[in-house]
Structure 1
């Protein structure tokens, strides 16, 4: 007879299951529906997913009831089926796995996503109803997952503890590796939940293995409870109308060992994970033996969210009045090595460090600063506002990204008209990461336009014609950039896609980071027929863990085996020094083939991109006219 769940999780690391909703999406089921309703409409499909995870090695299976609460179901007209859907979720899981795995009732935050302003009385009502149904249906435990705020999680836990002594797993979704969304230090939040009766504490969603490992490291050694981790399969990418995750099962296998060494006793997967990811975790943990020294890997200064950026363009001298003529980025790069540096807009209201970085990069003679448009769907300060400030206060050229995700046709044209009025005429057209995977998952992704279409529409403004076809009385002067990802298996197909962007009207290209000198040479060879300039992306690595995060979790980035070996295990100053050295070696090759250089600043460590900008300037002295 197997032990109860509480005892099982105290014995050794156990394997959890993987994603339900994103896996159903991969199997061809539609988005925009209640996946929980499939407990009634497609019970065989849900049962098969449970069986696949159990066969892959999952010892703990979650019911398909994450959003099966009155308030959330009411959005689909299903609130009267709350009890039926939850009870069916438990019955399907139990029948699918029998006694081979523990069945835990999944409960998501009522205030998650679009429900941020739901009244406390409704939150309490919904938790009491769902908890009661799941307990009556015979679950082995309850999983409170993807909670953003301590107060809501504490409320749900308190309701459970008034009804039962059942095993309860509590999991936060965090972007900040040290605090909950309502600003409570994670260590403090965990101690409070332990005192309120939680049996297991941990994290799921919002981050891949790297970000969740950092959050685990903030938890003190003496907590005295098992930890649980269910990371996403990296950062999602939006390719040809489909959401794709990049983290491989092999990466999850190596991460599982790190999690176990850090004290995790329940290890599974969240968005983007599949039975293959769970099988990799199970195989990695099969012969696991814990480190002699327990729990926490030494905390480092590694930061998480790295935003893979695509650049922005500028004004053409031919379009400006003679007295104001200023060479554009395209003009400059045809004459000499030209450096564009990416600097992330802040996620809060303090622009002090951003402006200091901008000034330092101007002093280093960067030609322009590029700013993403809420990259990775994470809310940041408006790049339009910062672009205006850069022109006014620093006197450096801004390049603003324009994402298709956030604005419909009306908003996009309005936005572009505002840029024109401010004299900000270099932009980069990008698709934008899906909103549901950012920090406001309840927001909508618009995508009225593709990256090809937005290039054509902005180009149309340069003819003095609105998106609607009506005249605008004068012409805009936008220079439009397009993004290029060369880190793909079939580079020839990527170049063909690039040719389509050029046909749509792109004036220059900026690439994703490249870490292989041979690939830089291949790019040069395969794009030599193109008529517009290319800026090669160089992203200096901060440390070994940053390297693994970028390689495994961030779409469009692929590190060479050599670079990963060189960065392996390096932290702090040693990591930054080696990262700079690798970047300089890449620059040596890039500058021999391209005049355009695109530097990306890791974690606002602008000292690194200042150093590399100065390196380009010094190296250019021997060939002032460029390559």
Structure 2
């Protein structure tokens, strides 16, 4: 009879298997399907992959259940088959492993480094459902793999520990920063996981053997548990429509004893690895006798771990000028939106910005390709507005156009330029814009991007790496009050505030009664709200906004008044309606958000003058 898994790795280095997903991809199974569903539809294919790794020398197999949780399977309409798929995955691996091999139930991160907007209770429910199904088939252990942050891995580990005392292997996915996405150093992360009951802690995915070797080096002297490593076969290259990995099987064979010497008791492969890679690992470790895991050189503290330390000194980049959140507490404050141009001529835009500055706008806000229509970069224009006019730019940052890499890079650029007021928005889907063939990214939701920008303010990069100084972003969130159930919209708004929003900017409102209702429904909120007012340019403009633009709803009275009006007559009536709305808005809110239609900035100038006259505010000659 084979020893239990804990006994097996105590005095031996166990050879794990290699990739499942990328190996299936190489065998012709396309990206975009559920590989876990193959446990039911093509079990012979999955067993053949498992057996190829056993024949190569692996003694530890992972079940094909990495993404077999409710959240991931629901994207394929398979949420009702969570238990069936997981149970089948263990059975198939067990059959391939035979009498001498071990099987661990593989469970992957649900958030997958994207900070998905899932509550802790949802995550607990999804993990408990998957663990329960796996454990019914009596695997030799559980492997929690490819977790990017300790918070989620901590939750998953505690969930499985409530159900079973089986061995649990925990694997983080880290890069060269040697920190988790939530900012913990690796010794800190290992300490948390050890205290939670992990049996083995290690690394997989995200990097090749060299990157994982560096991560292990950062732990030398503090390892108190055996480690496991499943590196990728180097960095993937995209050639002729296919992903290719360059690290050779021979290289994996050379690295295997190195990992074993560093305290690893399980060594396998992740993305891009094949049975050939596992065969080289097995050959290199034949006859290897591991040394006992040494006692840690420095005894670990039992005190709670501090994740983020203050980094650098705060910078005052506004010369003592208050930010909008502080300013709006003192007096009525007006943000004016001016859309970046759709061509390369910025002459009219800059004239408009200067006119709005002279009229007393407190900030100029620039959308980020609103309605998915391609416009000039708001980063470039924001910088020009700031340097040429002295008017504060407030830039929108849409989730649609940039992945995590591009989003952080974009924000770092704003920080370098001294642009520190931003509005986080989801962004309209690309297929409805002027380039319908382009892709919508949506790596982040509006909730997540707010949290990530706040993380930059803490001096922590999206990767968890500490930065040399902290950003100073003042972060706005969008609010659409033009809905049937205002209370539900406010609940969603509360979540954005909980994520870290500093102020709120609403969609345009065209009903004084709704403005009063918004004031009452948000009276309990402790951050400022800027009520959106957009003057209408014509009757056609009014009907288009009401019927075709998401988040905008005009009252019947406003539509009646604008009906049939065009040109100067239409704009004059639009300004008159906007003034009435401003009377209602300024009675309840200090924050006003004017949206300029069609570059008719003279309409916004008239409204600014109306606001300041009503408030009795005289502008400094510097504005003129």
TM-score of the pair, normalised by structure 1: 0.49
Q: Quick check: which has more Rg, 1 or 2?
A: 2
